[in-house]
Structure 1
Amino acid sequence: MDPHLLRTYVTVARLASFSAAARELGYTQSAVSQHIAALEQDLGAALLTRRPVAPTPAGARLMEHAGPLLLRLDAARAEVMRMAAAPEQGLTLATTPTALTRRTAEALPPAGVTLSVLPRDEIPAAVATGAVDLGLVDGLAAPNDPLRLPDVAPLTARGVGQEPVAVLLPEGHPLARRTGLRLGDLVYARWIDAPDTGLPLAQLRAANGTAGFRPALRYDGTDLRTLAALAAAGHGLTLLPRAAAAEVPGAVAVPLTAPRVVHRTELLHAGTLRGPAAALAAQLDVRA
């Protein structure tokens, strides 16, 4: 299966338009049609309906395979190019809002750093494809257990640190005076769904082994101050690393006592680290 044809198919299916795909890819519309026809002939199945443009059942199944396949190809290309290239003097780092701790920030080089705050799910792919040199990812885990990361490509994940977690709630909340909270007692509380800022609700469900944790409000940004302000204003609870939850005006951070989970941070990289990336890993006591 020709990856060029597969990329054309994915673009047409995503945009639901042959002409829009042609503009995005820089092809003529006729060339896009020929690509789709060639792929359908190769696979012996119709992949798209034409009016409207939409995947057939076979095409929908191909879309499920296409993303990981193309990502693996991009990752392989990026790794080979990195091996052949001269070491870069700069450093590009992608992180979630809660993964970059003060310790990590202090370990960054004094110059030549490009830092991007990205959604959790995008960081492994950014590292795999060479868009960034390193990625910092975080989440809930049992003490000393690794994070469960998507299998996007061969990546190396090394633990950087772990810390307790706390529930952030308004000062006037009935539970604000507690010395500790059990996650199981908060299943039916009002929660803020902030998957790219706080610890995702899906991780809370997995840690508690139950459903629930329904959101009262969804926040799609990556600014911790905004999330903390929403929690302090009573729009819902959120779970944060203890350091990030401390000293939020109008809010109280109550330690989570059960289940026994921690906020874990890991450093991701592809291939062998060199230059500033290797130096940062060494500063963080991460095996390069």
Structure 2
Amino acid sequence: MDPHLLRTLVAVVEHRSFSAAARALGYTQSAVSQHIASLEADLGTKLVERRPVGPTGAGERLMEHAGPLLLRLDAARADIARLRAAPPTRLTLACTPAALTPSLAAALARVRRGAPGLAAGVRVLGPDAVVRAVLTGEADLGLVDGAAAPNDPLPLPDAGPMATVGVAEEPLAVLLPAGHPLAGRPALRLADLADAHWIDAPDTAVPLAQLRAAAHTDGFRPRLAYGGGDLAGLVRLVAAGHGLAATGLAAAAGQPGAVAVRISAPRLVHRTEAVHPRTPAEPVRALVEALGHTA
């Protein structure tokens, strides 16, 4: 299967338009049509409905494979490119909002003091986007956070050659409005919050699916969806009574209008992991080491 044709399919399905996909890919519309026709001929089935544009049942099934396949190809290209790359003069870090802590800022400052000519960049993304950025070479190091059992790794996608190392663990907490009846409790059981209203903020807080799995319940239904990556913005929504959210105790501390209460059961922690290539450059090694010292 030609990956160029697969990328064209993804663009057509995502844009729901042959012309928009052509503009996004830099192709002519006739070239896009030819790509889809060639892919359909290769697989012996129709993949895209033309009026209106959308995937067929077979197209939807192929789309489930397309993302991981194309990501793995991009990861392979980036991995080989690193082998012949010159020593880096820039360090690009991708991190989730709750991972952008004072400890990270201090660790990055320590690394830059040891390499005065090193330029640095920081991107705040959702956890899946952080992993993608590292795999494809858009970032040299990623930091992702989430809920896990103590000392257990986070459930990250296995999409290519990368290494992970835990750099911080802290109590998992639920964010409540300051006036909430449970805000004065020293700790709360996660299962007791299953029927509460929640904010679905997978890029900023612990995904609700992880809470359902941990509490063995189908609760934790969202009252509001939050697509931003700003932790302070999420806290403002919690403080205004739009719903609850789970994150690390330290990440939530000091946020006005909301109270962070530790989760006592089940035994879960808020864990932060560094994600990097298996053969990281020296600035990446130095930052991971500095994070270990400041955690």
Corresponding residue number in structure 2 for 1:58: 58
SS at match of 2:275: strand
Corresponding residue number in structure 2 for 1:70: 70
**Whole-Å Cα distance in 1 between the matches of residues 6 and 162 of structure 2?**
24
SS at match of 2:79: helix
**Whole-Å Cα distance in 1 between the matches of residues 106 and 45 of structure 2?**
55
For structure 2, list consecutive stretches of 5 or more residues without a partner in the other structure.
113-117
Corresponding residue number in structure 2 for 1:87: 87
SS at match of 1:98: helix
- 1:220-231 equivalences under 5 Å are 220-231=227-238
Corresponding residue number in structure 2 for 1:252: 259
**Whole-Å Cα distance in 2 between the matches of residues 230 and 49 of structure 1?**
40
Corresponding residue number in structure 2 for 1:22: 22
Matched, 1:282 2:280: no
**Whole-Å Cα distance in 1 between the matches of residues 30 and 258 of structure 2?**
59
Corresponding residue number in structure 2 for 1:138: 145
- 1:206-245 equivalences under 5 Å are 206-245=213-252
SS at match of 2:130: helix
Corresponding residue number in structure 2 for 1:159: 166
Distance change (3 Å), C-alpha of 1:272 and 1:16? same
Corresponding residue number in structure 1 for 2:156: 149
**Whole-Å Cα distance in 2 between the matches of residues 191 and 60 of structure 1?**
30
**Whole-Å Cα distance in 2 between the matches of residues 163 and 119 of structure 1?**
20
Distance change (3 Å), C-alpha of 1:274 and 1:188? same
SS at match of 2:174: strand
Corresponding residue number in structure 2 for 1:199: 206
Distance change (3 Å), C-alpha of 1:193 and 1:34? closer
**Whole-Å Cα distance in 2 between the matches of residues 51 and 171 of structure 1?**
52
Query: Bigger shift: 156-165 or 24-33?
Result: 24-33
SS at match of 2:94: strand
Query: Bigger shift: 33-42 or 152-161?
Result: 33-42
SS at match of 2:97: coil
SS at match of 1:7: helix
CA deviation digits over 1:173-218, x for unaligned, max 9? 2112212111111111222222221222222111111111122222
**Whole-Å Cα distance in 2 between the matches of residues 192 and 39 of structure 1?**
40
TM (norm. structure 1) is 0.93
Distance change (3 Å), C-alpha of 1:30 and 1:194? closer
Please report how far the alpha carbon of residue 259 of structure 1 lies from its aligned counterpart in structure 2 after TM superposition: 0.9
- Aligned residue pairs total 286
Query: Bigger shift: 150-159 or 83-92?
Result: 150-159
What is the root-mean-square deviation in Å for CA atoms of aligned residues?
1.7
Maintained 8 Å contact 1:139/1:199: yes
CA deviation digits over 1:202-235, x for unaligned, max 9? 2211111111112222222122222222222322
CA deviation digits over 1:32-72, x for unaligned, max 9? 22222222222222222222222222222211111111111
Please report how far the alpha carbon of residue 27 of structure 1 lies from its aligned counterpart in structure 2 after TM superposition: 1.8
Moved over 4 A (4+): none
Query: Bigger shift: 8-17 or 201-210?
Result: 8-17
Matched, 1:180 2:208: no
Maintained 8 Å contact 1:89/1:275: no
Corresponding residue number in structure 2 for 1:46: 46
Corresponding residue number in structure 1 for 2:115: none
Corresponding residue number in structure 2 for 1:263: 270
Maintained 8 Å contact 1:192/1:219: yes
Look up the equivalent residue of 2:124 and give its one-letter code: V
Maintained 8 Å contact 1:79/1:271: no
**Whole-Å Cα distance in 2 between the matches of residues 42 and 218 of structure 1?**
40
**Whole-Å Cα distance in 2 between the matches of residues 9 and 193 of structure 1?**
29
Please report how far the alpha carbon of residue 247 of structure 1 lies from its aligned counterpart in structure 2 after TM superposition: 2.4
